[in-house]
């Protein structure tokens, strides 16, 4: 059991944050222990297939035998929604002794796996090389496994934060903290996290509490270290809807948005066509078509290229999504 002792100043500085690096690290638990994450089986298959050759052993080694994560790889966000690159820069600046300590702590009481043995070598250079390698591997993993889905993931996380803000407004801090997960209990200024391997208390000491919703966490996840400031990743609401198919666009809704003439033009522009041909098919004048094309081009729904003396128009990828001919990315 782990407990956070939170005073008035800590409660006043309780904030939510959305951490791309935190989500990346939580996702490594999904790769390591798929049975705990049945909702993510499809994503897991895709992520594993997209891994760069040779990266999987090192990524797997970052999750300890008890599914613990090294604290230096889950830095506490300084702002509500830092960029992944900003968080990775914090990791790169980690003191080398902290890297050694946190890697050992994540695997204790077992020794480090062979792929991390550089952390036990004497001197700073082996640890520095290992840290640089870790950052490079994490950046590749982010690009292949998380970034394509990040807009969708972030929407789920933002929706959770809005919901929790409503809980805070209507029920106060006690209702908020106790409602995050059944393993959490708030009483007398103490937030208790049950069913944890660790057994320690963390004094807030005015450092505040950071709460981070996660689509990949299956239970509350605090830092390993008792010295780390209070921070908690918790399972966010709406994760079950994350990987579901998106509804097909409603053709009538598209007409209501753009109007019938422009919607008809977009339907025709599945192939490149000049103004004259569009006018012939629609039975209107070329000038009428040109007027509509100018609007569609200005809004990014139509692209145009010159073909000799003709200008060919075609709908853009955004227009194809609106027309329902292919799913939105990520």
Q: What is the mean pLDDT of residues 90-94?
A: 97
d(CA 150, CA 146): 6
320 and 326 in contact (C-beta within 8 Å)?
yes
Taken in order 98, 104, 107, 113, the sign of the CA dihedral is positive
The strand pairing partners of 305, in sequence order, are: 312
35 and 76 in contact (C-beta within 8 Å)?
no
Q: What is the pLDDT of residues 264-292, one digit of tens each?
A: 998 899 889 999 999 999 999 999 999 99
pLDDT of 72 higher than 60: yes
Q: What is the pLDDT of residues 144-162, one digit of tens each?
A: 999 999 999 999 999 999 9
Q: Which stretches within 51-115 are classed as H helix?
A: 56-61, 84-92, 96-107
DSSP SS3 for 242 = coil
208 closest CA partner among 179, 182, 232, 180: 232
How would residue 326 be classed by pLDDT, with cut points 50, 70 and 90?
A: very low
Q: What's the mean per-residue pLDDT of the chain?
A: 91
Q: What is the mean pLDDT of residues 118-137?
A: 94
The answer for residues whose C-beta is within 8 angstroms of residue 96's C-beta and 6 or more apart is: 124, 127, 128, 131
Q: Give the helix/strand (H/E) hosting 172.
A: helix 150-178
Q: What is the pLDDT of residues 204-214, one digit of tens each?
A: 999 999 999 99
237 and 160 in contact (C-beta within 8 Å)?
yes
Of the ranges 2-6, 166-170, 305-309, which is most confident?
2-6
Q: What is the mean pLDDT of residues 301-318?
A: 90
pLDDT recorded at residue 42: 94
Q: What is the mean pLDDT of residues 180-205?
A: 91
pLDDT recorded at residue 329: 36
Q: What is the pLDDT of residues 241-260, one digit of tens each?
A: 888 765 555 657 777 888 88
pLDDT of 328 higher than 50: no
Q: What is the mean pLDDT of residues 13-28?
A: 96
Domain residue limits, the chain:
2-241, 251-323
pLDDT recorded at residue 169: 87
Q: What topology does CATH give the domain 251-323?
A: Arc Repressor Mutant, subunit A (1.10.10)
Angle at which helix 260-268 crosses helix 251-258, to 10 degrees, equals 120
d(CA 217, CA 229): 20
d(CA 131, CA 119): 9
């Amino acid at each position: 059991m782990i407990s956070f002792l939170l005073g008035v100043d800590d409660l006043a500085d309780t904030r939510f944050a959305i951490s791309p690096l935190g989500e990346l690290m939580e996702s490594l638990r999904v790769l390591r222990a798929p049975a705990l994450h049945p909702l993510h089986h499809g994503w897991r298959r895709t992520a594993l297939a997209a891994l760069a050759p040779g990266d999987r052993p090192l990524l797997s080694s970052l999750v300890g035998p008890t599914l613990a994560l090294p604290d230096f790889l889950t830095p506490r966000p300084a702002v509500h929604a830092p960029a992944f690159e900003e968080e990775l820069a914090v990791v790169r600046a980690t003191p080398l002794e902290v890297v050694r300590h946190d890697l050992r702590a994540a695997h204790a009481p077992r020794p480090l796996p062979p792929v991390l043995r550089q952390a036990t070598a004497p001197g700073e250079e082996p640890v520095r090389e290992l840290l640089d390698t870790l950052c490079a591997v994490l950046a590749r993993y982010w690009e292949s496994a998380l970034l394509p889905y990040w807009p969708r993931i972030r929407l789920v996380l933002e929706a959770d934060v809005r919901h929790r803000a409503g809980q805070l407004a209507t029920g106060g801090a006690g209702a908020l903290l106790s409602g995050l997960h059944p393993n959490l209990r708030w009483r007398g200024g103490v937030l208790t996290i049950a069913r944890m391997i660790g057994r320690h208390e963390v004094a807030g000491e005015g450092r505040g509490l950071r709460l981070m919703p996660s689509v990949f966490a299956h239970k509350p996840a605090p830092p390993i270290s008792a010295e780390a400031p209070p921070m908690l990743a918790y399972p966010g609401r709406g994760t079950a809807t994350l990987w579901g198919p998106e509804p097909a666009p409603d053709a009538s809704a598209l007409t209501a948005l753009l109007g019938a003439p422009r919607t008809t033009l977009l339907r025709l522009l599945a192939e490149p066509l000049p103004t004259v041909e569009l006018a012939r098919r629609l039975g209107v004048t070329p000038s009428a078509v040109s007027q509509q094309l100018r609007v569609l081009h200005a809004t990014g729904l139509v692209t145009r290229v010159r073909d000799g003396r003709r200008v060919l128009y075609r709908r853009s990828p955004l227009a194809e999504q609106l027309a329902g001919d292919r799913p939105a990315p990520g």
